[in-house]
Amino acid sequence: MASVAKTIVLVTGANSGIGFELAAQLLAKGTYHVLLGSRSTEKGSAALQELQSRSLPGTAELLPLDLTDDATINSAASTVEQNHGKLDILVNNAAVALPAGTDREQLRTAFDTNATGPYILTKTLLPLLQKSTAGARIVNISSGVGSIARKMDPTSPMHKMSGVQYRASKSALNMVHACQFVEYGDLGIKVFLFDPGFTVSNLGPHNKAEHGARSARESVLPLMDVLEGKRDAEVGLFLHNTGVWPW
């Protein structure tokens, strides 16, 4: 019996947190080949070794990738084209919450990482997504704190929360997503926006279980539904684990 070709998935920020757990759950399925996008080669190599030590049936490889560096974006695209000739799923997961620096430097870095980077990466990988034979899809990982409606609602728990760097950059990603949804949807590519919720991760000092953060495993399970087509009827909405957010 001929072997079935694996679905090629690129997950940015895959060396820890939600990205790492998503890679693990995909590899457990056995039908995916996961490209572990990581800004740090050292951390990415450690993540790859950890995943391989679990003897999961899927396959994986490290893909050095810094969303603020066009040279690494172009190099990553060339590597994917050379090694696989296509890309089936892109998960724009990498993000930064509160970068170092002055207010201007923090905003610049947050926007560059959380909005500009996913826009440039997706545009660069578009020709490879168009070569997918599995029905290409893009999943932009956003946050409910990027909802302008929730910020403006005095009854929302998000109303008084500050964090303008992260919130504004995620709102910008939401608009990037909306533009991709319209433009790439016309090309037959499904584009999703998903908020995994407050999760244990390295995103910020409060992303810990003692502060109420969910485990990465819990947050990724509904994200897997998006990747595997179980929420296709909701494409075009601002999805989270149990429903949708207002824009």
Catalytic residues: 166, 170
- Name residue 118's amino acid: P
Token pair, residue 161, equals: 């929360």
Element (H or E) spanning 52, and its range?
A: helix 41-53
- Name residue 240's amino acid: H
CA 71 distance to own-chain centroid: 20
Collapsing DSSP to helix, strand or coil, 101 comes out as: coil
| Residues 6 or more apart in contact with residue 193 via CB below 8 angstroms | 139, 140, 142, 174, 177, 181, 237, 238, 239
Element (H or E) spanning 120, and its range?
A: helix 117-129
Is 121 within 8 Å of 173 (Cβ atoms)?
no
Cα-based distances in Å from 95 to 29, 77, 153: 26, 19, 25
Collapsing DSSP to helix, strand or coil, 133 comes out as: coil
